[in-house]
Amino acid sequence: MFDQIFGNFLVETGKITEEQLADVIAYESTVRVKLGLIAVAEKLLTNEQADEINQLQAIMDKRFGDIAVEKGYLTEDQVSNLLKKQGNIYMVFVQTLIDKKLMTLEEVDAALESYQSQMGFTHSDMDALVSGDVDRTVKLFLPAENDLMARHCALAVRTFLRIIHSSAYVSKAYMTDKLSVDNVAMQTLKGEHIITAAFAGVSDSLLCVADTFAGEEFDAVDMDALDAVGEFINCINGLFASEMSNEGMELDMLPPEFFDRPSELSGEKLCVMPIHIKDKDIMFITSFDEEMIVK
C-alpha cells in the first residue's frame, strides 16, 4: 500500500501527476513479481503448488510464504531469499520515480519528510509505512482504540487486497457516532463481544467489491450486489472468528443485512476506515460492543 498512499500524497502536493503515478504503479507490477511466480520460475514450486497456496490464502488469511512453509513446499530460508528477489515496495517505488526522471532522490526524501510532518508520524511510524507490512500500516491509520478493532480492520484490509483489489489503499480512519451513506452491507458477530462490520459506499462505489467477489457485472448497487458485498464481509468475519476461536473466544455469525438506499448509521463509537480503489471511495465501518443502528 505504500506506493498508493505516498504516491497519492505526491499527486495531491503537485510533485507528480495522476497519469505519472498510474504509470509508475503499472511499471512496478512488471518489476515486482508475485512471490509464487518467482518460486515457480526458480523451480522451487510447481504451478499446481502455487495455485493451491493461492486458493488457501483466500480462506486462511496467511502470507504466501507462510503457507508454503507450513505445507512443507519451501523452507524459511527459501522464502527469505524469494522475498529478497521480490524487493521491498518502497525501494521499487522510489527507484521507479528516479528511473523515470520524475523526481530525484533528494526530492523524494523531502517529500517523505513533508508527508511525515503532515500526518504527525514518528520515525518508527514511517518505518512501519515503508516496510509494506499491511498490519503495521493499517494500525498507523486507526484511532487509538482497542487491539481487537485494529486486528479486525487489518484482517479486513488484507482480505480486501487479496480478493478484491491489490492496489487498494487506506487513509486515516476516524471515530464518529453518525454517518450518512448511500448503501451498506453489514454483519454482526455475537459472543463474548458484539462486533458489527459494514462496507458502505458513496453512489455506486460498492460495485467494485460486488463485481469482483461475485464474478459478474451488476448494473447498480441493488440488493443482489449488496448480497455479494455481504458474502465478502461474511468471509472476513469468518476468518476473524476463526482467529478468535484459536484464542478461546467463540463468536457466532449472524446473517448479513443490506440497505440499498441512503441511510444514516449511528452508534456510540463507529470506526470508519476509508478504502480507495482508483477513483472509488468506500468505507469499512466497525463497531465494538456498541450497537450499530441503520435508519
Partner 1 sequence: MARILIVDDSRTSRKMLRTILEENGHEIIDEAVNGQEGVQKFQALRPDVVTLDITMPVVDGVEALKMIKALDADSKVVMVTAAGQKNKMIDCIKAGANEFLTKPFDKDEIVNVVAKLATE
Return d(Cα 14, Cα 21) in angstroms, integer. Answer: 11
Per-residue mark of binding to partner 1, 145-164 (x: CB under 8 A):
------------------x-
Residue 241 contacts partner 1 per CB under 8 A: yes
Residue 224 contacts partner 1 per CB under 8 A: yes
Nearer to partner 1 by C-beta: 110 or 249? Answer: 249
Q: Where are the beta strands (DSSP E) in the chain?
A: 169-170, 174-181, 183-191, 194-201, 251-253, 257-259, 263-277, 280-288, 293-294
Closest approach, Cβ 151 to partner 1, in A, equals 13
User: Among the residues of 32-146, which ranges form H helices?
Assistant: 35-41, 47-60, 64-70, 76-86, 89-99, 105-119, 123-131, 134-140
Residue 55 contacts partner 1 per CB under 8 A: yes
φ, ψ for residue 231, nearest 5 deg = -65, -35
Residue 26 contacts partner 1 per CB under 8 A: no
Closest approach, Cβ 189 to partner 1, in A, equals 9
Residue 37 contacts partner 1 per CB under 8 A: no
Among 183, 188, 196, 237, which residue sits at the site for partner 1 (rule: CB under 8 A)? Answer: 237
Residue 231 contacts partner 1 per CB under 8 A: yes
Nearer to partner 1 by C-beta: 109 or 250? Answer: 250
- Applying CB under 8 A, the span of 17-25, 135-143, 170-178, 254-262 interacting with partner 1 comes to 254-262
φ, ψ for residue 65, nearest 5 deg = -65, -40
Nearer to partner 1 by C-beta: 60 or 202? Answer: 60
Closest approach, Cβ 274 to partner 1, in A, equals 24
Q: Cα separations (Å) of 33 from 5, 83, 206, 221? A: 20, 10, 28, 34
Please enumerate in sequence order all residues whose Cβ is within 8 A of that of 270, keeping only pairs 6 or more positions apart, or say none.
Answer: 175, 176, 177, 178, 179, 285, 286, 287, 290, 292
Residue 250 contacts partner 1 per CB under 8 A: yes
Nearer to partner 1 by C-beta: 37 or 59? Answer: 59
Residue 253 contacts partner 1 per CB under 8 A: yes
Cα 264–235–170 angle (5° rounding)? 60
Other beta carbons within 10 angstroms of residue 179's beta carbon come to 19
Among 77, 217, 219, 252, which residue sits at the site for partner 1 (rule: CB under 8 A)? Answer: 252
Closest approach, Cβ 248 to partner 1, in A, equals 11
Among 26, 33, 37, 58, which residue sits at the site for partner 1 (rule: CB under 8 A)? Answer: 58
C-alpha cell at 231: 458474502
- Tell me whether strands 174-181 and 263-277 are parallel, antiparallel or unpaired: antiparallel
Nearer to partner 1 by C-beta: 2 or 240? Answer: 240
Helix (H) or strand (E) holding 150: helix 147-159
- Applying CB under 8 A, the span of 5-13, 63-71, 211-219, 273-281 interacting with partner 1 comes to 211-219
Return d(Cα 151, Cα 280) in angstroms, integer. Answer: 24
Name the residues that contact partner 1, by CB under 8 A. Answer: 55, 58-60, 163, 213-216, 224, 227-228, 230-231, 234-235, 237-245, 250-256
